């Protein structure tokens, strides 16, 4: 990327252009004024300092990832880049320069004009950023009209922008309302709005949270491409370091309001120097690496809150390599290499990545069949949510269920616990028929099947203290533990027992929910995306609680997630659902490494870690409209994946429903392709291949 | 730079003013025998239609009764009837709304259709009917007003219940087999409390107005009572001769209705903020 001279209109947006500054670059950056420069920025809230001496530079066309746990100041920094500071916040020092304009010195009126033309934000919830009563084409056009473009020109340019974010069939799509679009499409419209002003700086706050892995992958790819094309400086705020690795050129790791490591993404991910960066990487699951090979390490403790004082390195209390000097003097951000890789640590590189040290022991023979789902069919109105699903879960087994949003994962989960609508097919537990509705199940059966829900904020009664929640669960489920013992099993501290749920963090709430589901020794716990709303570092701890419960009690899980890496980490077997059809199921390693269903191949490719990405041979992308879930094949027969499948066989896949082909070891693939020509993910970690079908 | 939105913790003048008005009428209702300058029912044919003056601050009516004394004494009927009616309607409506929302199915359908039937029946005609059947008395008035409000409260509480019952904490309770009463009392009721409080305060203001209206129509208190609504009705024949006899009770009704509405509105905003 070249440090191009100031492009376009550097400061023509406002009558008071602010101070033009040259030659005051942070350490390590080349001398330039284009793009974003943050220089010695410190910010405090009434409770205490939140940002401390932040120095970074993002060139036009460059994507910079800002990573850290919740409460490390990354959102405060992201918003401040646009001149937004929460009430009560004060800038103690430093500057933010965007193309040479000192953002923090602009007066309110000039700041508003500057924001309109120079900066754009994309927030976490795409649906919340769009006006639900306005057609999406008009929303984009309105942004342009606000800039003074005449009506017709605005409409035409809006079309252009929508096609630029690679939305299909723009003319029809522009006339739709936001709720008629999928989550990924909504986020693209938001990005189109953001790009409408040709901003000089684009700030994205967790832009892909809640999106499916494959959609996430596409949106991020789109962003980086557009950023380079429009020569916009992009700042991507996220808690997910591996995800940032997929999308960014450079990355900054924020801890307790300080940049602790910054550098080119490849270097930081391959050779993290700060123990915190290492901890973040170690807490995220890698696709194809199960718990038996590398257990995730949750970062102990939590980041200090603003105002919590401390001496020395702020990470020292949580750092495995901390020595006495770490606790007495705060290290400075020092360059490691000429590439701009800098770290704020006295002992850079002292902590290495956890390496897979052992091949997993051969899987234990599965126990007897616990749950048998046969021919399960569920409808919502005319929509077939589940089509003839057969699934078996053995005693003590974790079965992972993956699929994109709307594939019927949650419908299947709810049918198993008895919360969904009744329909065809049967579910039995230990050979005993489970009635479709929970109210028809006997107390004994009800106790044996429990559920952990997705959203930590609504899973607990907000009016009940933790102690009461657990006590009720023990009482109604006839548990034998007392409340503190049950809490301890989920690694909940005793002092949390007297808190209301509002006082707990997301991870703590989910632990309470897990403890609640285990109150009466269940045989099967259905986990519906239990960690998808949590920070990566918190997710590791919750997954560990689930894994330990399984190890201690022999409880089986039906574990649902859209995150293939998480499922692969925990599950013994994986089932893949596509539009209500179970297209594949089998042992985890075989499903992930293949040969597998073309749809599974697509999911695996989308979850590929950044390092492996270059080696992923993706089949030619087929751009096809999203199939309607009612009848994706268009004629009531054939494979539902046919319209998106790069391997489809014309005349067969669209006419005949594919058979379930057995590949051995209970691995079933519902596809017309010859097993030998099914795709594989050969780039996955070598042990997966060692453990492949030949070896078992 | 950033615009700070200040959350004021000072009591607003509106809140203080409306609270003072309501408090004043409550004091009148509670202690009127000690406060009135004359017996409100004392007739003095010689002093008919006296304009406001030093002896009679608000003048006298067509029987020569002191308007101020009747005004002060007239606070009691409305301040007994309205809160009781509001309380009764909120209690019944909350119970029905929670049950209908929690049980759904035929019970929900039956309750809501019955309440629809109550709503389509004009309140005034219903009131005439009931009062004709049961006689004119405060308890009947309370019942009639409460009955008119129950469907409104039920609908609000049911709507809030329907939102809550879909949340995972309620589903978790159903999964572990909590009985219906426990589901309603332990899980749902505490979480629709906000809606119930809003309904209670709204219904209180409406009940004041309803009580005054029914009294004006002669459907409230027994004849001759100093009640504000009946006073307006009794004196309206002489409104051109002695406007103060109508104006005083009318303003009293207005002041109480407006003060209650403002007070509940401000209290609700405080509630939402916390």
Which ipTM score applies to this complex? 0.80
Per-residue pLDDT, averaged over A79-101, amounts to: 87
pLDDT, position B7:
46
Helix axes A506-517, B168-175, angle to 10 degrees: 20
User: By mean pLDDT, which of A22-31, A239-248, A446-455 is the weakest?
Assistant: A22-31
Question: What is the full DSSP assignment across A259-311?
Answer: EEEEEEHHHHHHS--SHHHHHHHHHS--TT--TTTS---PPSS-PPPTT---S
Assess whether pLDDT exceeds 70 at residue A338. Answer: yes
How many whole angstroms separate alpha carbon B212 and alpha carbon A227? 68
Checking if the pLDDT of A26 tops 70, the result is no
Q: Which residues in chain A have Cβ-Cβ distances shorter than 8 Å to B187?
A: 461
Percent of chain A whose predicted confidence (pLDDT) is above 90: 21
Q: Nearest to residue A442, comparing CAs of A478, A490, A484, A473?
A: A478
Query: Can you tell me the distance from the alpha carbon of A155 to that of A139, in angstroms, rounded to the nearest whole number?
Result: 10
Question: How far is it, in rounded angstroms, from Cα A291 to Cα A398?
Answer: 12
Which two structure tokens, joined as six digits, stand for A307? Answer: 């105002």
Long-range Cβ pairs for the range A217-224 (8 Å, 24+): A217/A246, A217/A606, A217/A607, A218/A166, A218/A184, A218/A606, A219/A184, A219/A187, A219/A188, A219/A191, A220/A246, A220/A247, A221/A247, A222/A165, A222/A166, A222/A188, A222/A191, A223/A63, A223/A191, A223/A247, A224/A63, A224/A248, A224/A249
- Cα–Cα distance measured from residue A358 to residue A385, given in angstroms and rounded to the nearest whole number: 41
What is the tens place of the pLDDT at every residue in A478-497? Answer: 888 889 999 998 888 888 89
Taking contacts as CB-CB distances below 8 angstroms, the residues of chain B near A460 are: 169
Q: Is the pLDDT of residue A617 over 50?
A: no
Residue A686 has pLDDT above 80, yes or no: no
- Cβ neighbours of residue A258 closer than 8 Å, sequence gap 6 or more: A52, A53, A54, A314, A333, A344
What does the pLDDT read at residue B39?
Answer: 87
Examine the pLDDT at A83 and tell me if it is beyond 80.
yes
In 10 A of CB A680, how many CB atoms?
16
A631 closest CA partner among A396, A384, A415, A397? A384
Say yes or no for a CB contact (<8 Å) between B2 and A91.
no
Å between B183 CA and nearest CA of chain A: 11
In DSSP terms, which residues pair with A393 in a beta bridge?
A371
Give residue A113's pLDDT.
86
Report how far residue A245's alpha carbon sits from residue A264's, in angstroms, rounded to the nearest whole number.
Answer: 10
Write out chain B residues lying below 8 Å of A476, CB-based: 176-178
Residue A639 three-state SS: coil
The whole-angstrom separation of Cα A639 and Cα A538 is 39
Amino acid A475: pLDDT: 92
- Report residue A367's pLDDT band, with 50, 70 and 90 as the boundaries: confident
For residue A437, give the 3-state DSSP assignment: coil
B163's tokens: 């939102």
Of all residues in chain A, the one with the smallest CA distance to B194 is A463
Q: If you measure CA to CA, which chain A residue comes closest to B1?
A: A108
The pair of three-digit structure tokens given for residue A588, joined into one six-digit string: 């985890």
Smallest CA–CA distance from B168 into chain A, residue: A459
- Residue A319 has what pLDDT? 85
* Alpha-carbon distance values, A119 to A114, A136, A142, A449, B24 (Å): 8, 21, 16, 51, 57
**Contact assignment for A419 to B168 by CB distance below 8 Å:** no
CA distance A577 to A406: 10
* pTM of the full structure: 0.81
Give the gap in angstroms from C-alpha B197 to the nearest C-alpha of chain A: 16
* A145 φ/ψ angles, rounded to the nearest 5 degrees: -65, -35
Partner-chain residue, chosen from B169, B176, B190, that has the shortest CB–CB distance to A459? B169
| Contact between residue A486 and residue A479 where contact means Cβ atoms under 8 Å apart | yes
Q: Which residues of A touch B1 (CB under 8 A)?
A: 83, 85, 91, 104, 108, 111
User: Angle B144-B80-B197 (CA atoms, 0-180°, nearest 5)?
Assistant: 80
User: Which pLDDT tens digits describe chain B residue by residue (274 residues)?
Assistant: 344 444 445 668 888 899 999 999 999 989 988 888 888 888 888 888 888 888 888 888 888 888 899 999 988 888 999 999 999 999 999 999 999 999 988 999 999 999 998 888 887 888 888 888 888 888 888 999 999 999 999 999 999 999 999 999 999 999 988 999 999 999 999 999 889 988 998 899 899 989 888 888 888 777 777 888 888 888 888 888 888 889 999 999 999 999 998 988 888 787 776 5
Over range A560-566, report the average pLDDT: 88
Q: Which of A87, A89, A450 sits opposite B175 (nearest CB)?
A: A450
Question: In the prediction, which pLDDT does A583 show?
Answer: 92
Residues B177-185: contacts with CB under 8 Å, at least 24 apart: B177/A438, B177/A443, B177/A446, B177/A447, B177/A476, B177/A477, B178/A472, B178/A476, B180/B102, B180/B103, B183/B102, B184/B98, B184/B99, B184/B102
> Which residues are paired to A320 by β-bridges?
none
- Cβ density class A386-421: b for 16+ within 10 Å, e for less: bbebebbbbbbbbbbbbbbebbbbbbbbbbbbbbbe
Interface touch A450/B168, C-beta < 8 Å: no
Question: What residues contact A331, with CB distance under 8 A and at least 6 apart?
Answer: A313, A344, A345, A346
Q: What is the pLDDT of residue B172?
A: 93
CA distance A218 to A166: 10
Residue A581 has pLDDT above 50, yes or no: yes
pLDDT grade, residue A612 (50/70/90)?
low
* Contacts B165 to A, Cβ<8 Å: none
Size of interface A-B (CB pairs under 8 A): 79
Judged on CB neighbours under 10 Å (0-12, 13-18, 19+), B40 is buried
Which helix (H) or strand (E) segment holds residue B262: the answer is helix B244-273
CA distance A104 to A84: 9
Q: Is the dihedral of CA B199, B204, B207, B209 positive or negative?
A: negative
A501: closest chain B residue by CA: B169
Task: Check: CB of residue A125 under 8 Å from CB of residue A177.
Answer: no
SS3 state of residue A7? coil
Please say if the pLDDT value at position A615 is more than 50. no
Tell me: pLDDT of A11 over 60.
no
Residue in chain B nearest A455 by alpha carbon:
B168
User: Which of B3, B5, B168 is closest, CB to CB, to A453?
Assistant: B168
Position B274 scores a pLDDT of 56
Inspect the interface and report whether the beta carbons of B177 and A462 lie closer than 8 Å.
no
Binned at pLDDT 50, 70 and 90, residue A611 comes out as low
Two structure tokens written together for A688: 């997966």
Flag if A464 and B186 touch (Cβ within 8 Å). Answer: yes
Closest CA to A559 of A597, A587, A592, A526: A526
* Chain A residues touching residue B274 (CB < 8 angstroms): none
Using only C-alpha atoms, chain A has a radius of gyration, in whole angstroms, of 26
Touching B: A residues 240-299, CB under 8 Å: none
- Where does the pLDDT of residue A609 fall: very low under 50, low under 70, confident under 90, or very high at 90 and above? low
Partner residue facing A516 (CB), from B4, B172, B178: B172
**Rounded Cα–Cα distance for residues B43 and B49 (Å):** 12
- Confidence class of residue A16 from pLDDT cuts 50, 70 and 90? very low
Q: Report the Cα A78 to chain-centroid distance in Å.
A: 19
Read off the pLDDT band of A461 (50, 70, 90). Answer: very high
Reduced to 3 states (helix: H, G, I; strand: E, B; else coil), residue A425 is: strand
Is the alpha carbon torsion for A122, A123, A124, A126 positive or negative? Answer: negative
Prior bond of A595 cis (ω within 30°)? yes
Q: Tokens for A57?
A: 């530079």
Distance from CA of B180 to the nearest CA of A (A): 11
> A655 to each of A632, A651, A658, B225, how far by Cα in Å?
12, 6, 9, 86
Shortest Cα distance, chain B CAs vs residue A629, angstroms = 24
Report in angstroms the alpha-carbon separations of A666 from A431, A674, A677, B36: 20, 17, 19, 93
Asked if residue A659 lies in contact with residue A583, where contact means CB atoms within 8 angstroms, the answer is no
Chain B residues touching A530 at Cβ < 8 A: none
Is A560 an interface residue toward B (CB < 8 Å)? no
Which residue in A694, A687, A665, A667 sits closest to A678, CA to CA? Answer: A667
Q: Are A461 and B191 an interchain contact pair (Cβ–Cβ within 8 Å)? A: yes
Distance between CA atoms of residues A181 and A335, nearest Å: 46
* Least Cα separation, residue A476 to chain B (angstroms): 6
Task: Name which of A439, A464, A476 is nearest B176 (Cβ-Cβ).
Answer: A476
For a pLDDT cut of 70, what percent of chain A falls above it? 87
Closest CA of chain B from A111, distance in Å:
9
- Reduced to 3 states (helix: H, G, I; strand: E, B; else coil), residue A578 is strand
A246-267: per-residue pLDDT in tens?
888 899 999 988 899 999 988 8
A87 shares contact with chain B (CB less than 8 Å): yes
Q: Where is average pLDDT lowest: A196-205, A299-308, A579-588? A: A299-308
Mean pLDDT of A504-515: 91
pLDDT given at position B123? 79
> Distance, in angstroms, between B200 CA and closest chain A CA?
20
At residue A615's C-alpha, the angle toward residues A609 and A618, to 5°, is 90
* pLDDT attached to residue B273: 65
* Strand runs labelled E in A179-280: 201-205, 233-238, 250-255, 258-264
Interface of B with A (CB under 8 A): 1-5, 167-169, 171-178, 186-187, 190-191, 193
CB B102 within 8 A of CB B191: no
């Amino acid at each position: 990327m070249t440090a191009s001279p100031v492009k376009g209109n550097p400061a023509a947006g406002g009558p008071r252009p602010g101070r033009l500054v040259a030659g005051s670059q942070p350490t390590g950056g080349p001398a330039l004024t284009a793009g974003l420069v943050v220089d010695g920025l410190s910010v405090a809230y009434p409770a205490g300092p939140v940002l401390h001496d932040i120095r970074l530079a993002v060139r036009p066309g460059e994507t910079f990832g800002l990573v850290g746990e919740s409460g490390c100041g990354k959102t405060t920094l992201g918003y401040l880049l646009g001149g937004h500071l929460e009430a009560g916040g004060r800038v103690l020092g430093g500057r933010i320069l965007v193309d040479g304009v000192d953002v923090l010195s602009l007066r309110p009126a000039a700041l508003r004009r500057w924001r309109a033309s120079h900066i754009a934000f994309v927030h976490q919830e795409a649906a919340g950023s769009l006006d639900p009563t306005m057609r999406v084409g008009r929303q984009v056009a309105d942004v342009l009209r606000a800039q003074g473009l005449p009506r017709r020109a605005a409409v035409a340019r809006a079309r252009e922008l929508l096609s630029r974010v690679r939305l299909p069939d723009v003319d029809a799509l522009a006339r739709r309302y936001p709720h008629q679009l999928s989550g990924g499409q909504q986020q693209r419209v938001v990005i189109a709005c953001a790009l409408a002003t040709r901003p000089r700086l684009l700030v994205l706050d967790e832009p892909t949270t809640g999106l499916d892995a494959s959609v996430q992958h596409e949106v991020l790819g789109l962003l980086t491409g557009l950023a380079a094309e429009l020569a916009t400086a992009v700042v991507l705020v996220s808690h997910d370091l591996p995800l940032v690795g997929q999308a960014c050129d450079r990355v900054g790791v924020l801890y307790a309001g300080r940049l602790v490591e910054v550098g080119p993404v490849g270097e930081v991910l391959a050779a993290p120097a700060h123990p915190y960066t290492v901890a973040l990487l170690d807490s995220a699951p890698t696709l194809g690496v199960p718990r038996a090979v590398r257990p995730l390490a949750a970062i102990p403790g939590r980041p200090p809150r603003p105002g919590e004082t401390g001496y020395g390195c702020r990470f020292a209390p949580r750092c495995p390599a901390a020595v006495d000097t770490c606790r007495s003097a705060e290290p400075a951000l020092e360059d490691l290499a000429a590439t701009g890789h800098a770290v704020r640590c006295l002992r850079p590189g002292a902590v290495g990545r956890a390496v897979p040290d052992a091949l997993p022991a051969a899987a234990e023979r599965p126990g007897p069949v616990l749950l048998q789902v046969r021919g399960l069919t569920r409808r919502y109105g005319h929509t077939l949510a589940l089509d003839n699903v057969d699934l078996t879960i053995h005693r003590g087994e974790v079965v992972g269920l993956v699929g994109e949003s709307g594939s019927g994962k949650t419908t299947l989960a709810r049918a198993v616990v008895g919360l969904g609508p009744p329909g065809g097919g049967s579910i039995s537990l230990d050979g005993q028929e489970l009635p479709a509705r929970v109210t028809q199940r006997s107390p004994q059966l009800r106790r044996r099947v429990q559920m952990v829900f997705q959203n930590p904020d609504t899973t607990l009664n907000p009016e009940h203290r933790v102690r009461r929640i657990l006590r009720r669960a023990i009482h109604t489920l006839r548990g034998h533990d007392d409340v503190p013992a049950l809490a301890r099993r989920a690694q909940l501290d005793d002092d949390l027992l007297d808190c209301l749920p509002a006082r707990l963090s997301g991870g703590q709430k989910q632990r309470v929910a897990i403890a609640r589901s285990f109150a009466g020794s269940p045989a099967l716990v259905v986990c519906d995306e239990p960690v998808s709303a949590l920070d990566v570092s918190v997710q590791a701890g919750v997954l560990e609680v689930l894994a330990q419960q399984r190890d201690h009690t022999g409880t089986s899980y039906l574990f649902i997630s859209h995150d293939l890496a998480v499922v692969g980490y925990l599950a013994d077997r994986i089932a893949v659902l596509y539009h209500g059809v179970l297209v594949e199921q089998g042992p985890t390693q075989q499903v992930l490494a293949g040969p597998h269903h073309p749809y599974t191949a697509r999911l695996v490719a989308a979850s590929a870690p950044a390092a492996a990405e270059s080696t992923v041979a993706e089949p030619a992308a087929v751009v096809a409209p999203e199939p309607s879930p009612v009848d994706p094949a268009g004629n009531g027969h054939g494979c539902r994946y046919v319209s998106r499948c790069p391997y489809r066989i014309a005349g067969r896949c669209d006419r005949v429903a594919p058979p379930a082909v057995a590949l051995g070891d209970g691995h079933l693939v519902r596809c017309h392709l010859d097993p030998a020509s099914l795709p594989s993910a050969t780039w996955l970690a070598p042990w997966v291949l060692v453990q492949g079908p030949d070896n078992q | 730079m950033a615009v700070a939105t200040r959350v004021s913790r000072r009591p607003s003048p509106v809140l203080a003013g409306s609270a003072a008005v309501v408090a004043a009428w409550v004091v009148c209702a509670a202690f009127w025998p000690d406060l009135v300058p004359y017996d409100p029912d004392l007739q003095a044919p010689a002093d008919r239609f006296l304009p406001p003056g030093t002896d009679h601050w608000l003048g006298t009516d067509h029987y020569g009764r002191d308007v101020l004394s009747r005004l002060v004494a007239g606070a009691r009927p409305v301040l007994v009837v309205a809160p009781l009616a509001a309380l009764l309607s909120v209690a019944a409506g909350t119970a029905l709304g929670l049950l209908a929302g929690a049980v759904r199915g035929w019970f929900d359908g039956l309750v809501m259709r019955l309440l629809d039937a109550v709503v389509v029946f004009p309140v005034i005609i219903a009131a005439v009917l009931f009062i004709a059947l049961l006689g004119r008395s405060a308890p009947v008035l309370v019942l009639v007003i409460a009955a008119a409000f129950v469907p409104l409260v039920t609908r609000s509480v049911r709507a809030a219940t329907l939102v809550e019952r879909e949340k995972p904490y309620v589903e978790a309770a159903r999964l572990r087999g909590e009985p219906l009463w426990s589901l309603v009392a332990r899980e749902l009721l505490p979480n629709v409390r906000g809606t119930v409080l809003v309904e209670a305060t709204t219904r209180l203001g409406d009940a004041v107005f309803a009580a005054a209206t029914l009294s004006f129509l002669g459907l409230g208190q027994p004849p001759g009572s100093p009640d504000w609504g009946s006073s307006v009705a009794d004196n309206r024949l002489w409104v051109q001769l002695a406007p103060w006899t109508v104006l005083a009770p009318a303003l009293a009704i207005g002041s109480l209705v407006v003060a209650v509405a403002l007070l509940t509105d401000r209290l609700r905003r405080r509630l939402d903020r916390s």
